């Protein structure tokens, strides 16, 4: 089973999304939560990096954190899936372990 | 104590002193070793600064805990992985890093630090039961 | 499945404790077990019984306490991290000669070994921090 990585910081402020993208393997999954959800938006300076990741990793965003910050599924890059907290729990259960990139 | 042995990897990504994470993470590492678990440490991103040489806290008044890393070998914690790219990005080499060692079964002194690439690190993390980063 | 949660940030300053709470609620609703919730670093501050958040805001400590009561959660505050930050239960306050204590009765203080044991016993450890 592959790993689940969570990232919780905006890529415009911290390097943790980049660390996660460069140190996660193909076939693993990345879930953006809290302030990291803004990394999923279209047209940002990290969009290309994230689009490249989507090609061989599963990228998810926590929908409630997106909504909390004023955005919806329509605002995020194609290929990023939205999950709720129950979906977050499922992702944890379905992957071999979870690394929180703090 | 439990009979189960799990592979715990502690990934240190933050510089010491500016926040307490490095110090308090080290306390978890030592307790985990006391539970006879398979423990390894990673130093990447700003985490490489945790084991830089010649830390001197005299004038800052901070508690200097760098010697605790030197004691890791005494707790049979001898898998310390330092990410090559993180050193390079920060203009550092292994010469800037503390000489951390352990004694093997024949009391021969061996280096605990292993320089690994980002790609090798991804494989190592993938092989763990638990990856705890701070 | 059995989960142990590690919470490394205090209430309000960071979202970590809120995220962990929502995760715990969702996990329990799906029939999973929360083996332990361990509070470390500034996360120990979630256990204060003296916080008075504004009435129109959530009360994080009481939310945890209510969830713990409903599901008999084992909520453990690291003793070393707590002492460093002035978080004491009545017993510890007595031992240390302090005139006050501030740990909510839904939480209890114990050693870091409880985190490691929780990580060993659970199927997954999920860290919520900064």
Q: Considering CB atoms only, which of C25, C29, C127 is closest to A100? A: C127
Task: Please report, for residues B30, B34, B50, B102, C50, the alpha-carbon distance to residue B40 in angstroms, rounded to integers and kept in the order given.
Answer: 11, 13, 15, 13, 39
Contacts of A94 in chain C (CB under 8 A): none
- The burial class, CB within 10 Å (0-12 / 13-18 / 19+), for B104 is exposed
Out of C78, C79, C87, C122, which one is annotated catalytic? Answer: C78
How many other CB atoms are there within 10 angstroms of residue B110's CB atom?
11
CATH superfamily name and code, B7-133: DsrEFH-like (3.40.1260.10)
Pair B116, B81: CB distance under 8 Å: yes
Average pLDDT over residues B87-112: 96
Task: Tell me how far apart the alpha carbons of residues C46 and C67 are, in angstroms, rounded to a whole number.
Answer: 14
| Model confidence pLDDT, tens digit, residues A64-97 | 999 999 999 999 999 999 999 999 999 999 999 9
Q: Is C38 on the interface with A (CB under 8 A)?
A: no
Pair B73, B103: CB distance under 8 Å: yes
- The burial class, CB within 10 Å (0-12 / 13-18 / 19+), for B74 is exposed
Average pLDDT over residues A40-58: 97
pLDDT at B4: 78
Average pLDDT, chain C: 98
- The burial class, CB within 10 Å (0-12 / 13-18 / 19+), for B44 is buried
Q: How many residues does chain A have?
A: 102
Mutation target for B interface from A1, A5, A23: give the one with most B CBs within 10 A.
A23
Average pLDDT, chain A: 97
State yes or no: pLDDT of B2 exceeds 90.
no
Dihedral angle over CA of B58, B47, B132, B21, nearest 10: 30
pLDDT at A1: 77
Average pLDDT over residues B88-105: 96
Which residues 6+ apart lie within 8 Å of C95 measured at CB? none
User: In the block, which residue shows the tokens 């993390």?
Assistant: B125
Residue A100 and residue C128: Cβ atoms within 8 Å? Answer: yes
Q: Considering CB atoms only, which of C112, C127, C129 is closest to B27? A: C112
Q: Give the pairing type, strands C75-78 and A29-32.
A: unpaired
| Residue C112 φ/ψ, nearest 5 degrees | -60, -20
| Model confidence pLDDT, tens digit, residues A2-39 | 999 999 999 999 999 999 999 999 999 999 999 999 99
Residue B128 and residue A22: Cβ atoms within 8 Å? Answer: no
How many other CB atoms are there within 10 angstroms of residue B61's CB atom?
6
Give strand pairing partners of B109: B103
| Model confidence pLDDT, tens digit, residues A23-33 | 999 999 999 99
Q: Which residue of C has its CA nearest to A34?
A: C15
pLDDT at A53: 97
| Residue C128 φ/ψ, nearest 5 degrees | -120, 115
Coil vs helix vs strand at C123? coil
pLDDT at C107: 98
pLDDT at B56: 97
Task: Tell me how far apart the alpha carbons of residues A77 and C86 are, in angstroms, rounded to a whole number.
Answer: 45
Mutation target for C interface from B3, B4, B13, B28: give the one with most C CBs within 10 A.
B28
pLDDT at B3: 63
| Model confidence pLDDT, tens digit, residues B27-38 | 999 999 999 999
State yes or no: pLDDT of B1 exceeds 60.
no
pLDDT at A41: 98
What is the CATH architecture of C2-128? 3-Layer(aba) Sandwich (3.40)
pLDDT at B98: 97
Pair B114, B79: CB distance under 8 Å: yes
What's the CATH number of domain A4-101, 3.40.1260.10, 3.40.462.10, 3.40.50.300, 3.30.390.50?
3.40.1260.10
Average pLDDT over residues B44-72: 97
Pair C55, C14: CB distance under 8 Å: no
Residue C117 and residue B2: Cβ atoms within 8 Å? Answer: yes
Residue C116 and residue B32: Cβ atoms within 8 Å? Answer: yes
Task: Tell me how far apart the alpha carbons of residues C130 and C114 are, in angstroms, rounded to a whole number.
Answer: 22
| Model confidence pLDDT, tens digit, residues C45-55 | 999 999 999 99
Q: Give the pairing type, strands B7-12 and A98-101.
A: unpaired
The structure tokens listed for C80 are 């070393």
DSSP codes of every residue in A44-97: STTHHHHHHHHTTSEEEEEHHHHHHTT--GGGBPTTPEEE-HHHHHHHHHHSS-
Sheet arrangement for strand A81-83: A81-83, A58-62, A29-32, A4-7, A98-101
Give pLDDT < 50 ranges for chain C. none
- Domain ranges in chain B are 7-133
- Domain ranges in chain A are 4-101
pLDDT at C8: 98
């Amino acid at each position: 089973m592959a790993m689940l990585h969570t990232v919780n910081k905006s890529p415009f402020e911290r390097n943790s999304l980049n660390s996660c993208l460069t140190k996660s393997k193909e076939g693993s999954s990345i879930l953006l939560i809290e302030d990291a959800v803004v990394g999923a938006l279209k047209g940002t300076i990290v969009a290309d990096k994230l689009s490249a990741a989507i090609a061989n990793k599963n990228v998810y965003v926590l929908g409630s954190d997106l909504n909390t910050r004023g955005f919806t599924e329509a605002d995020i890059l194609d290929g990023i899936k939205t999950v709720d907290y129950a979906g977050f729990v499922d992702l944890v259960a379905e992957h071999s372990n979870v690394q929180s990139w703090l | 104590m439990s009979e189960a042995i799990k592979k715990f990897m502690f990934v240190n990504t933050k510089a010491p002193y500016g926040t307490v994470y490095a110090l308090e993470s080290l306390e978890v590492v030592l307790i985990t070793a006391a539970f006879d678990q398979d423990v390894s440490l990673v130093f990447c991103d700003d985490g490489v600064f945790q084991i830089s040489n010649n830390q001197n806290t005299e004038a800052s008044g901070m508690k200097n805990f760098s010697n605790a890393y030197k004691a890791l070998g005494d707790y049979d914690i001898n898998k310390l992985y330092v990410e090559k790219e993180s050193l390079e990005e920060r203009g550092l080499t292994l010469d800037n890093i503390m000489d951390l060692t352990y004694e093997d079964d024949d009391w021969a002194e061996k280096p605990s630090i292993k320089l690994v690439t980002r790609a090798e690190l991804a494989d190592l993390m993938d092989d763990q039961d638990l990856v705890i980063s701070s | 499945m059995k989960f142990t949660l590690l919470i490394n940030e205090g209430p309000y300053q960071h979202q970590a404790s809120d995220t962990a709470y929502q995760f715990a609620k969702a996990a329990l609703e799906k029939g999973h077990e929360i083996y332990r919730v361990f509070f470390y670093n500034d996360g120990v501050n979630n256990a204060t019984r003296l916080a008075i958040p504004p009435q129109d805001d959530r009360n994080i400590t009481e939310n945890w306490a209510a969830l713990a009561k409903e599901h008999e959660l084992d909520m453990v505050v690291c003793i070393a991290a707590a002492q460093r930050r002035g978080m004491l239960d009545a017993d510890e306050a007595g031992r240390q000669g302090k005139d006050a204590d501030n740990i909510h009765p839904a939480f209890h203080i114990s050693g870091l070994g409880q985190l490691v044991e929780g990580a060993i016993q659970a199927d997954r450890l999920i860290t919520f921090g900064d």
